[in-house]
A and B are shown apart, each in its own frame.
Chain A
């Protein structure tokens, strides 16, 4: 009965999209109920799975044969295993909270029902993605979440920027999807099947180069969906969507699909050192790039989006470490889902209070005006910077530890990343909640209604307590049947062996330095009310998203435009001319032959006779020869 998980939100979406205006009054309740039902069912299934033996925790639910041609079969099957179970709980749990929050956030939007329909559609597609037992089914969900993401980024389609952002997200994702599609085709060619388990079994007897190619293609797909360098540029623009969407899709769930894909394809990545290294490099670059971008943004949502990129970079990097890192990637993914959703919704609450102003330079001193938002946001903040005892502390520490054990330099880069994270998050906190008030007199910040603050509290509690998943190595043990697990080696820096506690101490010190730096720059000093123009090169670099768009412009957009113009010119001058020339020729021929059609019956008769004569002569010639 795994399919019920998908059925609830899918039904919700279908209902809301087809029902008429009278469902405007209660449509949001249907959608929330559908998502909640899915969550409840997810909990039931999870408990049932807990009751099974450690090695017997895979439930396969085959609905029907989707494609059957020759030797190739695709079953519409859902595989519910420990990895999928965690994702189901995260997606439906956070999803339901965000549905509840949206009831308040979208209250005055006349298209609220449609918004909820899209949210339901997203939840259904995301569940298909994580439950799929076949790469083709996974691809179905993959494209489904892409569609939902497109529809929701561009939800306020009357804003040209939102429409453009939606288009950009869609197009950039297509680039990643090419990798994904090619990977599936390659599987079909090499293994004759696209079923995930069967592909995993076939890896052993396949050429190393093929496996590496598969890994790299899957990584390309993951980069698109998870906004990893070089396909990162869409995520910052995606913040044009309503804030609950940014929280659910562009922070907590959909953007982590790439990490899920890598972890789910662990058999392929385990077999290819090159592919794993590529994953690590992509993760590392994105981690640093996202963090730097986060440091310079004045738009609260964009700062958080940079942070999301960076945190997903951590997950990617962990996934690239192989069996030593898969479980930690998922662990960080889950805790990040909690605290980032919490902070995005918090940002939404702040925007709600500030008349949808997103510029942090217009905030300041909001801690007294928005006490609940401040408290919950603060807990999320402590979680993301890795304050000891909070969920982010455990999950990020584990990744840093594994990275240090893998390679000291990569490890140190992740430590640096943690410091930058502390810096930009402290900056965000200080600019928003601390200091003097910088908002205008006509703005009257007010705390959001209960329907919005309760989800914040739940998520804040989860951000604090998420670390208990690690208790007794529960998460590694839980995921072990799916992804395997090997304890990473000892951390050795400068010839000395570092115990885990020392690594934690090092990270905490670096984080403390980051916090202090940000506090002295933005907390103690007056923050300018407008974005300063004269800034260092580095700030400008970060403010422009590290010139990612410029690179895209020169690498992809312009060559494509030039090519397109060239083809258009060829079409107009070459092809078009050839066609019109041929048409003209035929036309002239036809006019000259028109004279033969003179209307004299007798001349037609002559034609018939001459023709008959010719035929007869020809026949005679043939016979006599």
Chain B
């Protein structure tokens, strides 16, 4: 149990740090996916621990949402790459105060 949670925490932390420090939009994107899957792992671990399927169910929902997000997100990244030849998130900052 605690091993699974530890793994989940490590994966989540890697993902979070990756989102904060990396500039490449693709990497940032993959880090987001990492965080999602870390939570999935936690869900499943808790489900297993308590012996009910709610956590498993939640994990499936997260997967569906993640898949939808990948579709939209990759499309945006490709569009950005086409229009400005770079996918650095620091360069895409036209919308600011």
Residues of chain A whose beta carbon lies under 8 Å from any beta carbon of chain B = 593-602, 605-606, 609
In the complex, chain B residues 63-95 whose Cβ is within 8 Å of any chain A Cβ = 89-90, 92-95
Given the complex of chains A and B, what is the CA–CA distance between A605 and B21 in angstroms?
A: 10
Beta-carbon contact of A601 and B96 below 8 Å: no
Q: Is the CB of B96 within 8 A of A599?
A: yes
Question: Which of chain A's residues have a CB closer than 8 A to the CB of B95?
Answer: 599
- B51 on interface, CB distance cutoff 8 Å: no
State in angstroms the CA–CA spacing of A186 and B65 once bound together.
69
**Nearest CB in chain A to that of B19: its residue:** A605
The closest CB in chain B to the CB of A606 belongs to B20
State the Cβ distance, A609 to closest chain B Cβ, in Å: 6
Pick the residue among A596, A602, A606, A609 that contacts B90 (CB under 8 A).
A602
A605–B97 CB distance below 8 A: no
- A620, chain B: closest CB distance, angstroms: 15
Interface pairs (12), CB distance under 8 Å: A598-B93, A598-B96, A599-B92, A600-B93, A601-B28, A601-B92, A602-B21, A602-B23, A602-B28, A602-B90, A605-B20, A609-B16
Q: Which residues of B contact A605 (CB under 8 A)?
A: 19-20
Q: Which residues of A contact B23 (CB under 8 A)?
A: 602
A596 and B20 within 8 A (CB): no
Q: Could you tell me if B90 and A600 are in contact, using CB atoms closer than 8 angstroms?
A: yes
Given the complex of chains A and B, what is the CA–CA distance between A598 and B19 in angstroms? 17
Contacts of A596 in B (CB 8 A): 97
In the complex, chain A residues whose CB is within 8 Å of the CB of B90: 600-602
Do A594 and B97 form a contact, CB below 8 Å, given A605-B19, A605-B20, A606-B20? yes
Chain B residues with a Cβ closer than 8 Å to the other chain, count: 14
Residues of B within 8 A of A (CB): 16, 19-21, 23, 28, 89-90, 92-97
Which chain B residue has the least Cβ–Cβ distance from A594?
A: B97
CB nearest to B95 among chain A residues: A599
Q: Could you say which residues of chain A place their CB within 8 Å of the CB of B28? A: 601-602
Q: Separation in Å of the A592 CB from the closest CB of chain B?
A: 10
Whole-angstrom distance between the Cβ of B38 and the nearest chain A Cβ:
14
| Bound-state Cα–Cα, A609 to B20, Å | 9
Q: Smallest distance from the beta carbon of A292 to chain B beta carbons, Å?
A: 78
Which A residues are in CB contact (< 8 Å) with B16? 609
Q: Is the CB of A595 within 8 A of B97?
A: yes
Q: Which of A594, A597, A602 contacts B19 (CB 8 A)?
A: A602
CB distance from A608 to the nearest CB of B (A): 9
Q: Contacts of A599 on B, CB cut-off 8 Å? A: 92-96
A53–B23 alpha-carbon span in the complex (Å): 106
Assembled-state Cα–Cα distance A234/B20 (Å): 82
CB distance from A591 to the nearest CB of B (A): 9
B20 CB contacts on chain A under 8 angstroms: 602, 605-606, 609
How far is it, in angstroms, between the C-alpha of A600 and the C-alpha of B21 when the chains are bound? Answer: 12
- Which residues does chain A contribute within 8 Å of B94, judged by CB atoms? 599
CA–CA, A606 to B89, complex, Å?
14
Q: Bound state CA distance, A427 and B20, in angstroms?
A: 105
Q: How far is the CA of A601 from the CA of B92 in the complex (A)?
A: 8
Q: Smallest distance from the beta carbon of A534 to chain B beta carbons, Å?
A: 81
A602 / chain B contacts, CB cutoff of 8 Å: 19-21, 23, 28, 89-90
The chain B residue sitting closest to A598, CB to CB, is B96
Most buried by B among A599, A600, A606: A599
Answer whether A597 and B97 are a contact pair too, CB < 8 Å, given A602-B20, A609-B20.
yes
Chain B residues near A594 (CB, 8 Å)? 97
Provide the residues of chain B in CB contact with A595, threshold 8 Å. Answer: 97
Residue of B with least CB distance to A609:
B16
Q: How far is the CA of A597 from the CA of B95 in the complex (A)?
A: 8
CA distance A599 to B88 in the complex (A): 13
CA distance A602 to B28 in the complex (A): 9
Q: Enumerate the 6 nearest inter-chain pairs by beta-carbon distance, A residue then B residue, closest first.
A: A599-B93, A599-B96, A594-B97, A597-B97, A601-B89, A605-B19
CA distance A594 to B95 in the complex (A): 12
Cα A598 to Cα B96 in complex, Å, equals: 5
| A609 CA to B21 CA, complexed, in Å | 13
Q: How far is the CA of A601 from the CA of B20 in the complex (A)?
A: 9
Distance A530 CA – B38 CA, assembled complex (angstroms): 109
B92 near A597 with CB under 8 A, answer: no
Q: Which residues of B contact A609 (CB under 8 A)?
A: 16, 20
Question: Which among A597, A598, A602 has the highest number of chain B CB atoms within 10 Å?
Answer: A602
A597 to B20, CA, bound (A): 17
Q: How far is the CA of A609 from the CA of B18 in the complex (A)?
A: 12
Contacts of A600 in B (CB 8 A): 89-90, 93
Closest to A595 in B: B97
Question: What is the bound-complex CA distance between A577 and B45, given in angstroms?
Answer: 62
A51 to chain B, nearest CB (A): 89
Q: Would you give the shortest CB distance from B52 to chain A, in whole angstroms?
A: 22
Task: Please report the C-alpha to C-alpha distance between residue A512 and residue B28 in the assembled complex, in whole angstroms.
Answer: 115
B51: min CB distance to chain A, Å: 23
Beta-carbon nearest neighbor of A601 in chain B:
B89
- Quick one: closest A residue to B93, CB to CB? A599
Give Cα A605–Cα B90 distance, bound, in whole angstroms: 12
Report B-chain residues with C-beta under 8 Å of the C-beta of A597: 96-97
